[in-house]
Structure 1
Amino acid sequence: MRTNLNLIIFAKAPKMGIVKRRLAKDIGHTKATFWYRSQVDNLIKRLNRKLPWRKYLFITPRNSKKLFKHCAKGNWLIKYQSEGHLGERMADAMGRVGNGPCVLIGSDIPNVKYEYIKFAFKELGRSKVIFGPSNDGGYWLIGVAGGQKMPKMNDVRWSTQYALTDTIRCFNQPEQIGYVQTMKDIDNGDDFYRLNSRRSPG
């Protein structure tokens, strides 16, 4: 029997005051919201090829599905995130997509490529749990092998430099944890302008 591979993207409605609030303090809500909207669109386009994965977009808040209608063209299944802290929402989402290995990523890390996701699924053949660390102590990707349950994450200090280490501790099986690429998060004005300076010609 074929094993289904499940890819989940967590995304917020690209509305001012909802997304990238820390970044907005430095560059303004309009620019931060526009950047996030473009980032989500570009991420979906990069992963919008015919892939051997079931693709899900879990969004928040409710009643924002119309803002993501363009995703349906790429065979994405759009669902709403549950309530609770991030760990509870991730566990709920992974439990709702069925059996098989599952990779969940955020939507605000630039330059995530198809090859990174492909490698993550490959790594789940060797590890029960995988993480894609971010430079700020968090993580942009979490993956679990088929049959691996998500633990409770009530003690994780979300949105801090301890988020990854706290989450790893919850699994209580460090020898079965693997890692993929470390990526750069865009949390403040310095991150934003550094990213754009690299993209500018000259």
Structure 2
Amino acid sequence: MPIARRQLVVLARWPAPGRCKQRLTASCGSSALAAAMQRRLSWHTVQTAAAAARHCGSELRLSASGLGPRALRRWGQQLQLRPLQLDLQRGGNLGCRMHRQLQAGFSRGLQQLVLIGSDLPDLQSSDLEQAFSQLERHDLVLGPANDGGYWLIGMTRQGWHRSGSALFTGIPWSTGQVLPLSLQRAAAHGLNVALLRHQSDLDSRSALAPWLRLPRD
């Protein structure tokens, strides 16, 4: 089979009580409701990503944490998407995990890679399609988050080889310095950068309001 040119990776946590993001649990008020919200958001994200992947001719990968191989296979079956690649995230901070995905993808010949999380209530397939479109003209694409981080990162093979691990080491993750510092690093390595629209993840209860009104699972 020919090597795919593009890959879209969803980084997700297993939606079980006690395993969701602390910010999500705080927004929902309980670990059980947080798990229910995480299941809905994960489904929304993966289905949205699948639509974009089909449109862009991209591979789709779900990289998950908080579960074992059997549970991951069951989760993949429940999502009812074919083809869908699955892998288990190894340890390390967010930078390590993103770096690992990019390194693995580019080492096997991919030309463009886009990574997103699974906690974006307002994510649309057009956002992901735009990311790949921008990678035709830019080395790096970032989706700015309202908390000062980013909700998406996309890179080309050329941009990866020019910057290496510079965008992922020494970054104070989960702070308002993530995006500014990442842009500084990109400029220092001569990367041509495109920015997508701002989005909010799960930092506030207001972003989750439409989801909280849905019937519980």
* 2:140 matched residue in structure 1: 129
1:156 aligns to what SS in structure 2? Answer: coil
Aligned partner letter, 2:19 = I
Paired position in structure 2 for 1:188:
204
Instruction: Give the gaps of 5 or more residues in structure 1.
Output: none
Partner of 1:151: 165
2:79 maps to: 71
CA RMSD, 1 decimal: 2.4
CA contact 2:76–2:84 (8 Å) conserved in 1: no
The one of 43, 59, 65 aligned to 1:60? 65
Contact (CA 8 Å) 1:20, 1:187: kept in 2 or not?
A: no
Identity within the alignment, % = 23
Offset from partner CA, 1:37-72 (integer Å, 9 cap, x none): 101112222233434101111111350413343236
Note the C-alpha offset of 1:176: 1.1
Q: Deviations for 1:119-161, whole angstroms, at most 9, x for unmatched residues?
A: 1111111110110011111111000012322424232111111
* Letter of the 2:133 counterpart: K
1:111 is aligned to 122
Number of residue pairs the alignment of both structures matches: 198
| C-alpha separation in 1, matches of 2:190 and 2:144 | 15
Q: Aligned in 2, Cα 1:130/1:183: closer, same or farther, shift over 3 Å?
A: same
The structure with the largest helix share of the pair is: 2
Amino acid at match of 2:136: G
CA 1:15–1:126 in 2, change beyond 3 Å: closer, same or farther?
same
Structure 1 counterpart of 2:65, one-letter code: T
Structure 1 distance, partners of 2:182, 2:130, is 21
Mapped partners of 1:53, 1:8: distance in 2:
10
